[in-house]
Chains A and B, each alone.
Chain A
Amino acid sequence: MNSLDFSIVLQAWPYLWSGLLFSLALTAVAFVVGLVLGTGLALVQHFEMPVIGKLVRGYVALMRSIPLILVLFWFFFLVPIVLGHLGGSGRPVPIGATWTAFITFGLFEAAYYSEIIRVGLRAVNRGQFEACQALALSTFDTYRSVILPQVLRVASPIILSQTIILFQDTSLVYVLSLTDLLGAASKLAQLNGRLVEMYLVIAVVYLAISSAASQGVALLRKRYAIARR
């Protein structure tokens, strides 16, 4: 193998940067949508709502049992058809790859976050609910001010771990011809033939971001351990 030439990476940096930004944006949106929706899904199951509870359970089980890449395909082809039917025209309404990615990741992650939160809800001591009842707090206030803050605190290390996985999974958007960090690198690598340099550099970027986040997880765990004692 010839000597490595990293100057090529410097030239390519603006393009890689835009790829990285897309990965981060997708992670952020999927995180927010996933967590909000996932909390809702977890609560629906927690309250054991008659019909909708079963539906939600099925949704979560389905999402968790098929590969993300397949879900991406499905949404790319299915959502336009559904929108077409809803619009009444019957003709598919294309929503574009970017929207597909954001929607799919949000809905997919919601299933995973909901499982984390559902387990967290079960772990809350019964006495906490009784204390809220005794103080005449409404169900809404009970969950918003007492139960969910505790669940999110306990579950935050696991939620963050899941988010690190999510960040790595953003590379799957290549199937929609979108360009994330990995996509940008591989396109450039094909062009300039510097595969080793490109893949080395982005591996370092992934490593840096993921390990920084892992440090965050460790920190959260420690802080939580102190708070609990």
Chain B
Amino acid sequence: MVQEIAVNEMARPPAIVAVEGLVKRFGHFTALSDVNLSVAAGEKIVLCGPSGSGKSTLIRCINHIEKHDGGRIVVDGVELTGRMDDINGVRREVGMVFQSFNLFPHLSVVENCMLAPMKVRGLSRTDAHERAIGLLRKVRIHDQANKYPSQLSGGQQQRVAIARALCMQPKIMLFDEPTSALDPEMVKEVLDTMVELATDGMTMICVTHEMGFAREIADRVVFMDRGAIVEEADPETFFRAPRTERARDFLGQIIH
């Protein structure tokens, strides 16, 4: 299946995420209409667009937190149908970081990171602990491992959330506005962590308005508006010479 899509796409390496003709409705509201997106392994995509444009909905469909109403989504060779086995198979390989962190408040930082590897990957407590500490060190927060999320700053919590997702050793990471809920002085520490992750070669799809970050790491910027992809380009081209009126308006609004 993946090969077929790749052939259709030509020129690009095989897609690890392939979205074709995606449709998502909330009641009568159409959040996504005929969205096509192909992401190669190791590629970094930045999704941007005005609020309500469907960018969060799109990435939430990729790990089936939102159920799509039409079209196809194939992730790492597995098509997302309604089957729970497929859904969990995909979710095991796809990490997600949320705007509001969504750490488990009753578990310590390290326990947050150990839960899924133990329950889902079947790791022993010792192995899960070792992996968790290793990844917490990577996001430079291992000295807080035994604290509870409420004792940390927003930036620290978001870095823990990144480590928690990485503990599952995903092939793809989804970021849903990871810095939007942070105080300005904490945005950098989270972005630095994400840049580092990108440098390591992780496949990343990021919904963000951090245009500096997009310039630095994105292979492609995807601009969405009203539930459709309006424009796709490498960051240089997109920021220098956006082709569409809507992208120009959007950039004019966010770059003061």
Contact = CB atoms under 8 A, between A and B. Distances in A.
Given A127-B100, A228-B150, A134 B105 contact: no
A128 B106 contact: no
Given A128-B102, A145-B119, 5 more contacts: A127-B100, A138-B120, A146-B104, A150-B104, A227-B106
Interface in B157-198: 164-165, 168
Nearest to A151: B106
Nearest first, the 7 A-B pairs at minimum CB distance are A136-B91, A135-B116, A131-B102, A134-B96, A127-B102, A136-B92, A141-B119
A145 B111 CA distance: 11
B57 to A, nearest CB: 13
B65 A133 contact: yes
A229 B150 contact: yes
B42 to A, nearest CB: 21
Interface string A125-155: 1011011011111100100011001100100
A138 B119 CA distance: 8
B96 A145 contact: no
Contact of A137 (B65, B96, B105, B119): B119
Interface residues of B, number: 26
A130 B92 contact: no
B88 interface: yes
Contacts of A141: 119-120
Given A135-B91, A149-B106, A150-B106, A130 B116 contact: no
A145 B115 contact: yes
Nearest to B111: A145
Interface residues of A, number: 20
Nearest to A228: B150
26 contacts: A125-B102, A127-B98, A127-B102, A128-B102, A128-B104, A131-B98, A131-B103, A133-B64, A133-B65, A133-B91, A134-B91, A134-B94, A134-B165, A135-B120, A135-B164, A135-B165, A135-B168, A136-B91, A136-B116, A136-B168, A137-B116, A141-B119, A141-B120, A149-B106, A153-B106, A228-B150
Nearest to B121: A136
B95 interface: yes
Interface string A200-229: 000000000000000000000000000111
B63 interface: yes
Contacts of A149: 106
Given A136-B92, A137-B115, A141-B119, A150 B105 contact: yes
B59 to A, nearest CB: 11
B239 interface: no
B148 interface: yes
A138 B122 CA distance: 13
B165 to A, nearest CB: 7
A227 B150 contact: yes
